[in-house]
Structure 1
Amino acid sequence: MKSSTPINAMTIDVEDYFQVSAFAPYIKRSDWEARECRVPRNVGRILDLLAKHDTRATFFTLGWVAERFPALVREIVAQGHELASHGYGHERASDLSPEAFRKDIVDAKAILEDLGGQPVLGYRAPSFSIGEGNLWAFDELAAAGYRYSSSVYPIKHDHYGMPDAPRFAHEVRAGLIEIPVTTLRVMDRNLPSSGGGYFRLLPYALSRWMLRRVNAQDQQSAVFYFHPWEIDVEQPRIAGIDAKTRFRHYVNLARTEARIAHLLRDFRWGRMDDIFLPERQALAPASAHPVHLAQAAH
């Protein structure tokens, strides 16, 4: 890629396979401790992959995971990656009261900062669960000391989404910006272009084209995300789940790691804080582009 191309943000949502929101009707939260935790080995593979491609990323990490695997948190930081918050127990922000949400984000931030030894500036809501019905969550994030959120997905989806939200970084509260994961605008509709199940389902060439289009047409840094369980073909299969959930979770797991390796070769990547926070941009690579906050919905 040419040096003038914006640097994109590579992000990993650090949660285990049994904590996925779609499995909540099938797996009791009280049963989590009895499940095999596979996140340490999967994150280890991801760290090796990033090191191979000399890439720094942002790890949105659950407080629940960090408490149980403190060495993993320290290794993320030691390798130069950004440690950010995914909340404590992977509860959707839209399912929590303001008081419960406040406790969740404050507890997670404290745990991560204690283990990582550095400020935690970023937050991503589980399942992109900040939307029109709970915009008060931004007030709580700002009050808790977060500098940015990546919790709104500006698409239509049966589990989440706010399709009329701005597509790129924009200030939502004084001192707090929202940095949505990336969409491509086509014929008055936002198409998902940033990872997850869509990345596993769509041909790689199409995903690459969409990201390149955002870089070239919008002149914006893209935000890509995936989960450690998405590279884990051998994860235990959850019995009794409906066909739609089964397809969404397991489709093309065997292809994901190789596709991510292709992404790391085909694009330039960095940490969320280096790309989007003004106070960090002086420390970012010299080729990184300053980010201008969006002024309009699209």
Structure 2
Amino acid sequence: MTKQTPNVTNMLTFDIEEWFHANYDDIAAPDRSKGSNFRNHMEILLQMCRETNSKATFFVLGCIGEDYPDVVKAIAREGHDVASHGYAHELAYKQTIGEFRADVQKSVDILEALTGTKVLGYRAPSWSIVESNLHYLEVLEEMGMQYDASIFPVKTFLYGIPTAPTEIHKPLVNGREINLYEVPMSVMKLAGRNIGYSGGFYFRFFPKFLIKGAIRSANRQGKSSIVYLHPREVDAYEQKLALPFKENFIHYYNVGKTQKKLEDILKSYSFTSISEHLKHKFQV
């Protein structure tokens, strides 16, 4: 299959966490005694990248680095970005700025020790950089990171800044442009509102033709789309959290079809990591 709009490269990202990592209120503690299929999920993702000549940014939890050091080393060995997803999947807007700094630094220390390379980027668990804690981006700037990918220009019950810019930019924080690129999640307009289409629930909910059409439309305008998924989303048989109806629908809808949908999209369009995209677009 010939990849479409080869002059535009999109960005492929994965949030690397276990099946039990979630941030919904009042959910029962999961039974983790049966383990997980995490290693198999990661091999599926890495194999898809190999077969489609795609590079990706893997936002890895620090605790994953502790539990699966060989997996993190494999990600780096195959030429992908290893970036921070924090240490234990805690919501950034529920942390003090000191707790946030310690959390990110702990994850960075673990990941850099495993890969031998500097961590260049960060994505907050559950997109938890919002208007109230936007100044936390200054912490990432102080740590010397090149980019943040935590802002989703939508509004949901859990996350989002609907008025945020939809293009890659250097954000204004406390009245100044900080030395850090913000890489917001891709959105499309639907009934006058921003809505995601190429990651997580949106990727599972929308039909493949709509996702491919949105990517193609963006590429024809010279814009890149960002795909994001979690390892658990390629396995309909992985253990599941006991969630209320709405949260269960968001978390698990259509997981049985995600892998084939992702394979087709990776074969249809060109994908690279965030750091490579920034290098070519902005000479970072």
TM-score, normalised by the number of residues in structure 2? 0.92
Q: Which residue of 1 aligns with 2:119?
A: 120
Do residues 212 (structure 1) and 216 (structure 2) align?
yes
Paired with 1:146 and 1:35, the residues of 2 have a C-alpha distance of 37
Q: Which residue of 1 aligns with 2:203?
A: 199
Deviation, structure 1 residue 120: 0.6
SS at match of 1:84: strand
For 1:16, give the aligned amino acid: E
Question: Equivalences for 1:1-298 in 2 at 5 Å?
Answer: 1-4=4-7, 6-22=8-24, 25-28=26-29, 34=33, 36-172=35-171, 173-186=177-190, 188-217=192-221, 219-239=222-242, 241-276=243-278, 280-281=279-280, 290=281
For 1:198, give the aligned amino acid: Y
Deviation, structure 1 residue 35: 5.7
SS at match of 1:36: coil
Q: How many residues align?
A: 276
Cα 1:207/1:113, change in 2 over 3 Å: same
Deviation, structure 1 residue 187: 5.6
Q: Is the 8 A contact 2:166 2:184 kept in 1?
A: yes
Cα 1:86/1:227, change in 2 over 3 Å: same
Q: Is the 8 A contact 1:105 1:144 kept in 2?
A: no
Cα 1:120/1:161, change in 2 over 3 Å: same
Paired with 1:237 and 1:60, the residues of 2 have a C-alpha distance of 22
Moved more, 32-41 or 110-119: 32-41
Gaps of 5+ in 1: 282-289, 293-298
SS at match of 1:168: coil
Gaps of 5+ in 2: 172-176
Q: Is the 8 A contact 2:5 2:269 kept in 1?
A: no
Paired with 1:33 and 1:98, the residues of 2 have a C-alpha distance of 30
Describe the superposition over 1:7-63 as per-residue Cα deviations: whole angstroms up to 9, x where unpaired.
0000000011101223x63244xx686461332221111101111111111100000
For 1:60, give the aligned amino acid: F
Paired with 1:186 and 1:107, the residues of 2 have a C-alpha distance of 39
For 1:209, give the aligned amino acid: G
For 2:27, give the aligned amino acid: Y
Identity level (%): 32
SS at match of 1:220: coil
Paired with 2:179 and 2:32, the residues of 1 have a C-alpha distance of 37
Describe the superposition over 1:81-111 as per-residue Cα deviations: whole angstroms up to 9, x where unpaired.
1110100010011110000000011111111
Q: Is the 8 A contact 1:18 1:35 kept in 2?
A: no
Q: Which residue of 1 aligns with 2:174?
A: none
Paired with 1:58 and 1:109, the residues of 2 have a C-alpha distance of 15
Deviation, structure 1 residue 238: 2.6
Paired with 1:201 and 1:188, the residues of 2 have a C-alpha distance of 19
Paired with 2:34 and 2:184, the residues of 1 have a C-alpha distance of 32
Paired with 1:74 and 1:214, the residues of 2 have a C-alpha distance of 33
Describe the superposition over 1:112-143 as per-residue Cα deviations: whole angstroms up to 9, x where unpaired.
00001111101000011111100111111111
Paired with 1:128 and 1:52, the residues of 2 have a C-alpha distance of 29
TM-score, normalised by the number of residues in structure 1? 0.88
